[in-house]
Amino acid sequence: MSTGFEERLRAELEGEQIEIPLDADRVLAQGRRTVRARRWGAAVTGAALLALVVSVLTPLVLGRGVPAVPAPAPVATPSATPAPKLLGTAWTGVSVLGIPVGSSLVTLQFTDSGVHAFDGCNSFDQRSADDYRQDEEKLTIDGDGSVSLVLCRSGTATQLLDALHRTTHFRINAGRLVLLDDAGANLAEFDPFEVDGRTWRLESSTGSWVGKDPVITLHVDGDRAWGNSGCGDYTAALTRDGNDWRLSEATIAAPIPCPSDASERMSRFLRLLEQTTSAQPWAPDRLRLATPDGDLTFTIER
């Protein structure tokens, strides 16, 4: 839209002929620079726009054509298996200070009343569980405790007590207990004390009610128990968790005629059997079933 000033100026210019010197070469050169500048600006602007488009589209294109690389899975750090608790376990000796046990009966027990051991001749009993300490595979056994003084020719006599006092740690190797000193030297080896697969005979020391020849036996195999009651064979169901034992359903399979005292003895035995709360190996070759009304002590029948 033109203004009044522009109209007056145009009228004056058209009314008078004005000569303006013009350098044609300079005008053309200036025009070429302007055109190049406009083209260069357009090119730069186009390149910037193209770069922007490429930066946006490239991840989308690659995401469709190339499978994503999964993030590396976290590496699991292997955890050390904790050492088993020795409390409540019982063992029979294999060797002591390099000497094979052979036919000798060497035993080792860890109970809530301390460590109990038998070297084939003498027994060692601690006064409390505080006299031995286990921290994972570290194990120390104090020397205080009662030791019997029996002279015998057992190859492991007195050697076991020395091995126990020198023990600083242990390991379980294929189920076998190995006692070690602070240098890692082997002091003694033990296998688990086996209750199953043996014939156990009730000891007369259980009580005066047993009599001179009770002929009361016990066999254990998994969840079954059976034996001779003195008046016929019996069977019982057994539930156990370590040293925790529960016997139930004790019945006479084939009762035989018995004198009254033998019949009473049988009845008391079966009643005590069903009251069993725990079983503990009792060195050197004994098994004790704990009941509220009196323990039942068995010895291995050889």
Rounded to the nearest 5°, which phi and psi values hold at 293? -105, 10
- Domain range summary for the chain, segments of one domain joined by +: 89-192, 200-300
Distance CA 58, CA 52 (A): 10
What is the predicted pLDDT for the residue at 144?
Answer: 63
**pLDDT above 70 (res 16):** no
Topology of domain 89-192, per CATH? Lipocalin (2.40.128)
- Among 33-42, 69-78, 164-173, which is the least confidently predicted range? 33-42
**pLDDT above 50 (res 42):** no
Distance CA 271, CA 250 (A): 8
In tens, the pLDDT along 223-255 reads 999 999 989 999 999 998 877 899 999 999 877
Residue 66's pLDDT band (cuts 50, 70, 90): very low
H, E, C per residue of the chain: CCCHHHHHHHHHHHHCCCCCCCCHHHHHHHHHHHHHHHHHHHHHHHHHHHHHHHHHHHHHHHHHHCCCCCCCCCCCCCCCCCCCCCCCEEEEEEEECCEECCCCCCEEEEECCEEEEECCCCEEECCCHHHEEEECCEEEECCCCEECCCCCCCCCCCHHHHHHHHCCEEEEECCEEEEECCCCCEEEEEEECCCCCCCEEECHHHCHHHCCCCCCEEEEECCEEEEECCCCEEEEEEEEECCEEEEEEEEECCCCCCCHHHHHHHHHHHHHHHCCCEEEEECCCEEEEECCCCCEEEEECC
What is the predicted pLDDT for the residue at 50?
Answer: 44
The closest alpha carbon to 101, from 48, 212, 176, 36, belongs to: 176
**pLDDT above 60 (res 137):** yes
- Among 100-114, 162-176, 200-214, 245-259, which is the least confidently predicted range? 200-214
In tens, the pLDDT along 149-187 reads 666 766 566 788 889 989 999 999 999 999 999 999 999
Distance CA 246, CA 237 (A): 8
Total residue count of the chain as it appears in this document? 302
Rounded to the nearest 5°, which phi and psi values hold at 265? -60, -45
Domains 89-192 and 200-300 share a fold: yes
Distance CA 229, CA 220 (A): 14
Q: The domain 200-300 is classified under which CATH number: 3.40.50.620, 3.30.70.370, 2.40.128.270, 2.60.40.1580?
A: 2.40.128.270
Q: What is the dihedral of CA 260, 262, 268, 274, to 10 degrees?
A: -130
What is the predicted pLDDT for the residue at 64?
Answer: 47
What is the predicted pLDDT for the residue at 88?
Answer: 78
Distance CA 208, CA 295 (A): 13
